[in-house]
């Protein structure tokens, strides 16, 4: 049976039961539980060092009021990185290629930053809709443009993550199919294609980590404007 290249992005089911919840809960079982002991094993030490460095870097430009978001932003970063990296393994499903999931993460968090800004500093939050020194005839147009750009932010967050991961997975499948088909016909070309596939896989590992970082970084920038 010939399968479509887009079949890999279908939500998995088993006996009619959706497995999306299982795919989303799997990453949390892979991380070791932190210990209260002073001396831990190397894995726990590396995990703690990575989380501390990332949290410091993320919260550096934020006011102390935004430091309350440290837990949720760091957890989101680890969650997205794990989902993206597990999706590169064979015979796995990548939940972050689903636009609905990414929008479900982006919209509530973006909306929370906007609500915090409107509650704590409404004048400054509304002032972002009108740049200082705007000529009077352009005020209505600029307010409309800035409002549209504000509401496009969560859409851009979700679409960016979905598009980058989907494009990478499609490229990997296309090149892998080409290498498999060319192997009995032109072995030399197939070996070159397999080499390209290996390099592309390394690139996709980097993209999986970078896109998770960009997602959380942009959320922190939105938060910075409103705290």
pLDDT in tens, 76-114: 999 999 999 988 888 888 888 888 889 999 999 999 999
Please state the domain extents for the chain.
18-226
CA distance 78 to 214: 13
**What is the value of pTM for the model shown?**
0.85
Rounded Cα distance between 96 and 73, Å, is 17
pLDDT, one tens digit per residue, over 158-200 is 999 999 999 998 999 889 988 988 888 888 999 999 999 999 9
Q: What is the largest CA-CA distance in the chain?
A: 70
- Round the CA-based radius of gyration of the chain to a whole number and report it: 22
* Whether 102 contacts 162, CB under 8 Å: yes
Count CB-CB contacts under 10 A for residue 126.
Answer: 12
What band does 209 get if pLDDT is binned at 50, 70 and 90? very high
Task: With a cut of 90, say whether residue 202 has pLDDT above it.
Answer: yes
Cβ contact 210:161 at 8 Å: no
Is residue 157 pLDDT above 60, yes or no? yes
Instruction: Report the alpha-carbon distance of residue 226 to residue 117 in Å, rounded.
Output: 4
What's the CA dihedral at 133, 137, 139, 140 to 10 degrees? 180
Percentage of the chain exceeding pLDDT 90: 32
């Amino acid at each position: 049976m010939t399968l479509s290249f887009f079949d890999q992005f279908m939500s998995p089911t088993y006996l009619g039961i959706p497995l999306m919840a299982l795919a989303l809960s799997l990453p949390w079982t892979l991380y070791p539980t932190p210990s209260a002991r002073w001396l831990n094993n190397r894995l726990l030490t590396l995990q703690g060092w990575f989380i501390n460095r990332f949290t410091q870097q993320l919260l550096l430009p934020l006011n102390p009021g935004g430091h309350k978001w440290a837990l949720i932003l760091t957890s989101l970063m680890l969650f997205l990185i794990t989902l993206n990296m597990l999706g590169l393994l064979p015979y796995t499903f990548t939940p972050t290629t689903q636009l609905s999931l990414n929008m479900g993460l982006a919209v509530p968090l973006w909306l929370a930053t906007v609500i915090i800004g409107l509650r704590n500093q409404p004048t400054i939050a509304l002032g972002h809709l009108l740049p200082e020194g705007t000529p009077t005839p352009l005020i209505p147009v600029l307010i409309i443009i800035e409002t549209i750009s504000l509401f496009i932010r969560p859409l851009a967050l979700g679409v960016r993550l979905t598009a980058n991961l989907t494009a990478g997975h499609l490229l990997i499948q296309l090149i892998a199919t080409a290498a498999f088909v060319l192997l009995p016909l032109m072995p030399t070309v197939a070996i070159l294609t397999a080499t390209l596939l290996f390099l592309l896989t390394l690139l996709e590992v980097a993209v999986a980590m970078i896109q998770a970082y960009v997602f959380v970084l942009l959320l922190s920038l939105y938060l910075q404007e409103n705290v």
